[in-house]
């Protein structure tokens, strides 16, 4: 018999977070989260996402053992501002038992019907800066700190339960050796001169902080046209500044300014923390922090996390300035491999940015949708 219980207390939420640790115990491709960070993500008093969203966390039990988990989420800003009558689900993991999946999803349906919503979609988090999608290709590739990993049977469960693919995402990689400066060097010089633009680089996290709010404002503007985009609030900006900016090497943050010092483009690249997180086993102390710090300084792989260009400067080759700056930084750092975070498979403009680097798609993932009747 399958029993579903809501995880409410700290100990219950800790059990919720730790379930994948046992599910993927012997899987060399799964990358664990930091348990303390996950607890804060689920804390309604700390995570500003709860200003515009509500979420409930459920555990599935069978024979007194945890066999699955799911989060049922409503992003009310999305529902009210965009009129997308959607209930989300995320942080989904289960054993290979479709009855467990079915029982967990019933809790999502209950929340959706209770609030007169029309369909369910997932897996996805509270906002666009959270993890998204169930992996459908690339199971023999190590994950990252900003993506979910899952067993191949997850997608099979959804399809058997009447779900259809809603959005497809691709992840690509390329060796830094593929990056040839002749692809952007000339454009870099022309664009800077024509539009009176200049790159802005940083050496310390302290130098970045005064610019972060403007960066998130530009993020909201440059991503506004994408499907299901929900703008980042002022409170969320503060939260991300406090919790995540210190994880990023300051030299991996690049801005482009106009003559009036307005930011017209930005990019954030992160070191690859996957192996460090595996060694940390979900804990910062006593040694997890040292593994992460070592990766931050020494990792020869990088992940292109975010890149955005103001609508007025899109299609004007402004990214050539960003690529030129990264080329110099990565050459100095001895970077070997470059990875792209999940991007919508139909986002032709973004995909086209990387064509000269000859990226190889090594993972695919998607969200699944089902109507609520």
Q: Which two tokens stand for residue 141?
A: 């590739």
pLDDT digits (tens, 9 = 90+) for 279-305: 999 998 888 989 999 999 999 999 999
What pTM, to 2 d.p., does this model score? Answer: 0.93
Looking at residue 343, its pLDDT comes to 92
Q: Which two tokens stand for residue 319?
A: 């990214």
Looking at residue 104, its pLDDT comes to 98
Phi and psi angles of residue 282, each rounded to the nearest 5 degrees, phi first:
85, 0
Q: Which residue has the higher pLDDT, 106 or 211?
A: 106
Q: Which helix (H) or strand (E) holds 327?
A: helix 319-333
Q: Which CATH superfamily is domain 175-362 in?
A: Gcn5-related N-acetyltransferase (GNAT) (3.40.630.30)
How large is the average pLDDT for residues 74-92?
Answer: 94
Share of the chain above pLDDT 70, in %: 99
Say whether pLDDT at 229 is over 80: no
In whole angstroms, how far apart are CA 207 and each of 193, 201, 202, 266, 371? 26, 9, 6, 15, 48
How large is the average pLDDT for residues 60-81?
Answer: 95
Say whether pLDDT at 245 is over 90: no
CA angle 253, 254, 259 (to 5 degrees): 145
Band of the pLDDT at 224, cuts 50, 70, 90? Answer: confident
* Average pLDDT score, the chain: 94
How large is the average pLDDT for residues 222-226?
Answer: 77
Looking at residue 160, its pLDDT comes to 98
Q: Which helix (H) or strand (E) holds 333?
A: helix 319-333
Say whether pLDDT at 361 is over 80: yes
Looking at residue 285, its pLDDT comes to 85
Q: With beta carbons less than 8 A apart as the criterion, state whether 223 and 128 touch.
A: yes
Share of the chain above pLDDT 90, in %: 83
pLDDT digits (tens, 9 = 90+) for 115-170: 999 999 999 999 877 999 999 999 999 999 999 999 999 999 999 999 999 999 99
User: Could you tell me where in the chain the CATH 3.40.630.30 domains are found?
Assistant: 2-170, 175-362
The CATH-assigned architecture of domain 2-170 is 3-Layer(aba) Sandwich (3.40)
How large is the average pLDDT for residues 322-350?
Answer: 95
Say whether pLDDT at 227 is over 70: no
Band of the pLDDT at 228, cuts 50, 70, 90? Answer: low
């Amino acid at each position: 018999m399958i029993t579903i219980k809501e995880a409410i207390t700290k100990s219950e939420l800790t059990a919720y977070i730790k379930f994948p640790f046992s599910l993927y115990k012997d899987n060399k491709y799964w990358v664990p989260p930091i348990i303390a960070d996950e607890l804060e993500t689920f804390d309604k008093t700390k995570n500003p996402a709860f200003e515009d969203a509500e979420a409930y966390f459920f555990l599935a039990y069978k024979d007194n053992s945890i066999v699955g988990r799911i989060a049922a989420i409503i992003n009310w800003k999305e529902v009210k501002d965009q009129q997308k009558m959607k209930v989300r689900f995320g942080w989904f993991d289960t054993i290979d038992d479709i009855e467990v999946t079915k029982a967990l999803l019933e809790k999502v349906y209950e929340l959706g019907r209770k609030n007169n919503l029309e369909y369910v979609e997932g897996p996805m988090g509270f906002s666009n800066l959270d993890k998204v999608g169930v992996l459908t290709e690339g199971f023999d590739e190590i994950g990252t700190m900003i993506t979910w990993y899952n067993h191949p049977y997850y997608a099979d469960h959804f399809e058997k339960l009447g779900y259809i693919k809603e959005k497809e995402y691709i992840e690509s990689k390329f060796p830094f050796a593929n990056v040839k400066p002749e692809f952007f060097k000339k454009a870099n010089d022309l664009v800077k001169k024509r539009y009176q633009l200049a790159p802005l680089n940083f050496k310390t996290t302290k130098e970045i902080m005064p610019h972060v709010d403007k960066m998130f404002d530009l993020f909201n503007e440059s991503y506004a046209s994408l499907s299901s985009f929900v703008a980042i609030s002022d409170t969320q900006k503060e939260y991300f500044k406090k919790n995540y900016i210190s994880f990023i090497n300051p030299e991996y943050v690049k801005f482009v300014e106009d003559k009036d010092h307005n930011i017209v483009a930005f990019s954030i690249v992160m070191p690859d923390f996957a192996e460090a997180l595996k060694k940390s086993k979900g804990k910062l102390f006593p040694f997890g922090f040292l593994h992460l710090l070592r990766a931050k300084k020494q990792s020869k792989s990088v992940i292109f996390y975010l890149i955005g260009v103001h609508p007025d400067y899109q299609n004007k080759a402004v990214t050539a300035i960003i690529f030129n700056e990264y080329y110099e930084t990565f050459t100095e750092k001895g970077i070997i491999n470059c990875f792209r975070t999940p991007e919508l498979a139909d986002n032709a403009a973004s995909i086209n940015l990387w064509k000269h680097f000859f990226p190889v798609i090594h993972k695919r993932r998607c969200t699944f949708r089902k109507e609520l009747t």
